Amino acid sequence: MPIKVTCIAPVNIAIIKYWGKRDDDLILPINDSISVTLSTDHLRTKTTITAGPEITKNVLYLNGVEESFDNPRILRCFQEVRKKAKASGKCPKPELLEWNIHVESENNFPTAAGLASSAAGYACFVYTLATLYGIESDELSGIARMGSGSACRSLHSGYVQWARGERADGLDSLAIQLAPASAWPDMHVLILVVSDRKKATASTHGMATSVKTSDLLKHRASVCVPERVKLVQKAITEKDFDTFGRIAMKDSNQFHAICLDTYPPCFYMNDVSRSVIRMVDQINKLAGENAPVRVAYSFDAGPNACLFLMEKDVAEVSAIVRRVFPFNGCTAEEYYKGIPNDEPAIEAIPTTVLESFVAEEPNQLRYIIHTKVGDGPKRVD
Amino acid sequence: MPIKVTCIAPVNIAIIKYWGKRDDDLILPINDSISVTLSTDHLRTKTTITAGPEITKNVLYLNGVEESFDNPRILRCFQEVRKKAKASGKCPKPELLEWNIHVESENNFPTAAGLASSAAGYACFVYTLATLYGIESDELSGIARMGSGSACRSLHSGYVQWARGERADGLDSLAIQLAPASAWPDMHVLILVVSDRKKATASTHGMATSVKTSDLLKHRASVCVPERVKLVQKAITEKDFDTFGRIAMKDSNQFHAICLDTYPPCFYMNDVSRSVIRMVDQINKLAGENAPVRVAYSFDAGPNACLFLMEKDVAEVSAIVRRVFPFNGCTAEEYYKGIPNDEPAIEAIPTTVLESFVAEEPNQLRYIIHTKVGDGPKRVD
């Protein structure tokens, strides 16, 4: 009789970026990072694992396509979770640990959208496997980390820090929760998915090249990041959006600066990304040159923008985004997904504000996802 | 009887970039820079200064348009050259130093092309004025520097270093020649002028914001640049193009990385600039992943690329550039200016090489200028 477990896991977006490994095999980073876990209502990986004596070999399907189970990172996560389950003695059915597994994993967002699908994917794989084997552990994040570094952060809800750790064996390089999503309920997120034809450098390769060639990366990791981590921790505790947003933008920029300081350079932002940055800067200056930050951008290793903002500013900012990035060829609902717009609030925005923004050519964005900070992985069957 | 003098001065392109002032008034930089002076055969400012007792006020025409003479940088250069001429006692006609002047300055390239026109402009103004007053001085570069920092480098031919200097009064922040153009006669330059609709941040403003906000700039100026200056000096002496080109590319990238690490970030390169970088990287890897550099890019505060290469590689590289960046709507001569192509050499390039490069959409470049390293300012009337 096969046993079957289904779980979901979230995407996370780093505010203080992870870029550079000090150990490629264990995936140990050169600096701490801090992330925000996004709501699984709108972006999630769902993984079903079936184990049974009649399953003749381990198989893995990603979004309906069979992938090799011999991927060393998959194998490693699989072996590490089994090892932990054996050691715990908590597995409800000891023979389960000998059975092969059948894994089906799917994202509810296009992988091609460049939305950190490997983080949610490895977090979900490790969490689902651990659930199957009846274990819970603070150390699951350390196992997910060996699949894809940033996956460790997707094991927690809310605001999460991945400590670089000091040990050579990586046992202290784990993710911990700084605050649950409920601690700062006003935080909203708009994801601007950019239409892009060009394939960027794979982030694993780019990161390794940066460590080898960027003269600025060491200074970032040893001097800039530790200061920023403290500032962001404090900003989260105090719900100080001005500091949170400013450091988020500066750290996103610095990460892309390091990519450019790499030889040969790697580029992840494009001209549309830069238009988003200019728009955000203009929004933040609507109330004056030195007004507090109302909206902040962060870009991962791709052209898509992740905007952070407080609930009170959502209507105005989303109206400006749609003014600057008009669309055609799809419905308003296809263009603006996730949490629906508050149309009366949008109607109330003065046209003088909107008209101060210049519209770009249509369809530079594929779509927008409006979401919030959310929960960690959970069992859903 | 009015006295009239006409001189020309060259454009220069920095290999080690100047970015950041330690004194805004005297224009003293935070790091040394090294540049290449381009031939006045293809790019130059020409300035005519007329002095006479009947000229009732100082006037300045730039490319046929009257500009204010009250610009503090113009006034400063004017006063400093006069002061030096008085002190030298060499002025052929002492009353000349009391007469007003009429200045006409014009570039033989579009100012809008973003080709460091202020450097050539201030260098030419200072040099022409000094010629009028009969003085020659090693310190003219220090005066031109007070007009526009990089102008000091346009007072010399060939390969030039602008020393940051240590003194608070800036008297040791001068440009010196490292080698004349004739020392490395194989060096050629292709300038790829990019079609760009967007106006970038003015470099004076961007530089000041970088000094205030970039956490990486200090490390660049104090650690990275001094090492690179030594490497480039040695590469010029030894005609080691591999090192020269590699450091040129890394320093251009690092300068743009600092711009991105600035808050709010300033962008000078665009998607076309990035396509140029990818093309250059592909050319350099034609002979293998770790082959010596054959062509190197450098980008100033704008999207245009300056490519450096040895004479032996000009035919192949220029054919590849025209393959990757096709044009229509103008003649081949309008598209490829300056030193004419060696068409038989281009015919001899294997089509397999050309076909390994993917063509971009037409007209992403406005035109290409093929030039060489050249001479400093000179009198031409």
Contact A253 B265 (CB under 8 A): yes
Distance, in Å, from the CA atom of A311 to the CA atom of B352, rounded to the nearest integer, reads 57
- Residue type for A355, please? E
Q: Going by C-beta distance under 8 Å and a sequence separation of 6 or more, which residues neighbour residue A65?
A: none
Rounded to the nearest angstrom, the gap between the alpha carbon of residue A188 and the centroid of all alpha carbons in its chain is: 15
Residue environment code for B87-112, b if the CB has 16+ CB neighbours within 10 A, otherwise e: eeeebeeeebeebebbbbbbbebeee
Least Cα separation, residue A305 to chain B (angstroms): 15
Chain B positions touching A271 (Cβ under 8 A) are 270-271
- Tell me the residue length of chain A: 381
Mutation site for B-interface testing, chosen from A195, A201, A217, A260 by largest number of B Cβ within 10 Å: A260
The DSSP string of B125-179 is HHHHHHHHTT---TTHHHHHHHH-GGGGGGGSSSEEEE---S-TT-TT--EEEEE
Q: Nearest 5 degrees, angle CA B112-CA B122-CA B107?
A: 40
Strand partners, B359: none
Give Cα B344 distance to the centre of its chain: 31
pLDDT tens column, A211-269: 999 999 999 999 999 999 999 999 999 999 999 999 999 999 999 999 999 999 999 99
Provide residues of A within 8 Å CB-CB of chain B. 213, 215-216, 219-220, 223-224, 246, 249-250, 253-254, 256-258, 260-265, 267, 270-271, 274, 277, 281
Strand order in the sheet with A33-37: A12-16, A33-37, A159-162, A175-179
Question: Using an 8 Å Cβ cutoff, are A164 and A145 in contact?
Answer: no
Structure tokens at A361: 């050519």
Q: Distance (Å) from the C-alpha of residue A155 to the closest C-alpha of chain B?
A: 30
Distance from CA of B281 to the nearest CA of A (A): 7
The residues facing A8 across adjacent strands are A46, A378
The secondary structure of B193-255 as a DSSP string is EEP--SPPPPHHHHHHHHHHH-SSHHHIIIIIHHHHHHHHHHHHHHT-HHHHHHHHHHHHHHH
CA distance B189 to chain A (A): 21
Query: What count of other Cβ atoms lies within 10 Å of the Cβ of residue A234?
Result: 12
User: Which residues from chain B sit within 8 angstroms of residue A249, using beta carbons?
Assistant: 263-264
Of B220, B253, B263, the CB nearest to A250: B263
Q: What is the pLDDT of residue B90?
A: 85
State the pLDDT at residue A279.
97
Contact A300/A116 with Cβ under 8 angstroms? Answer: yes
Which of A243, A252, A261 to probe the B interface (max B CBs under 10 A)?
Answer: A261
> Which residue ranges in chain A fall short of pLDDT 70?
110-116, 196-200
Residue B174 to residue B117: CA distance in whole angstroms:
20
φ/ψ (deg, to 5) at A179 = -160, 145
CB contacts of A215 in chain B (<8 Å) are 220, 223-224, 250, 254
Closest CA to B112 of B298, B367, B339, B377: B367
**Closest chain B residue to A251 measured between Cα atoms?**
B261
Contact in structure between B145 and B151 (CB atoms under 8 Å) = yes
B-chain residues near A274 (CB < 8 A):
267, 270
Cα–Cα distance, B12 to B30 (Å, whole number): 19
Q: How far is CA A321 from CA A295, A350, A357, A360, B264, in A?
A: 11, 15, 9, 10, 19
Nearest to B254 among A261, A264, A274 (CB): A261
Hey, how many other C-beta atoms are within 10 angstroms of the C-beta on B212?
11
Burial class of residue B362 (count of CB atoms within 10 Å of its CB; 0-12, 13-18, 19+): exposed
Q: Are B183 and B109 within 8 A, CB to CB?
A: no
Tokens of B36: 């290449």
Chain B nearest-CA distance from A166, in A, is 25
Instruction: Return the residue matching tokens 């000349």.
Output: B96
Q: Are A183 and A300 in contact (CB under 8 A)?
A: no
- Taking CA atoms, A51 is separated from A56, A63, A87, A120, in Å, by 10, 19, 19, 22
Q: Tell me the torsion sign for CA atoms A23, A26, A32, A33.
A: positive
Question: Which residues does chain A have within 8 Å of residue B258's beta carbon, measured at their own beta carbons?
Answer: 257
- Chain B residues with CB under 8 Å of A299 CB are none
The pLDDT, as a whole number, for residue B139 is 85
Pick the residue from chain A with its C-alpha nearest to B224: A215
The pair of structure tokens assigned to B180 is 């004349």
CA distance to partner chain A, nearest, from residue B208 (Å): 16
Tens-digit pLDDT profile for chain B (381 aa)?
Answer: 789 999 999 999 999 999 999 999 999 999 999 999 999 999 999 999 999 999 999 999 999 999 999 999 999 999 999 999 999 888 888 899 999 999 999 998 766 556 667 899 999 999 999 999 999 877 899 999 999 999 999 999 999 999 999 999 999 999 999 999 999 999 999 999 997 666 667 788 899 999 999 999 999 999 999 999 999 999 999 999 999 999 999 999 999 999 999 999 999 999 999 999 999 999 999 999 999 999 999 999 999 999 999 999 999 999 999 999 999 988 988 999 999 988 888 888 999 999 999 999 999 999 999 999 999 999 999
d(CA A65, CA A74): 16
Task: Give the Cα separation of A239 and A232 in Å (integer).
Answer: 10
Residues of chain A with C-beta less than 8 angstroms from the C-beta of B290: none
Residues of B within an 8 Å Cβ radius of A:
213, 215-216, 219-220, 223-224, 246, 249-250, 253-254, 256-258, 260-265, 267, 270-271, 274, 277, 281
Q: CB under 8 Å to B215, separation ≥6 — which residues?
A: A220, A223, A224, A250, A254, B261
Distance from CA of B210 to the nearest CA of A (A): 12
Partner-chain contact B224 A246, CB within 8 Å: no
B290: closest chain A residue by CA: A264
Question: Which of these, A321, A268, A254, lies nearest to A294 by C-alpha position?
Answer: A321
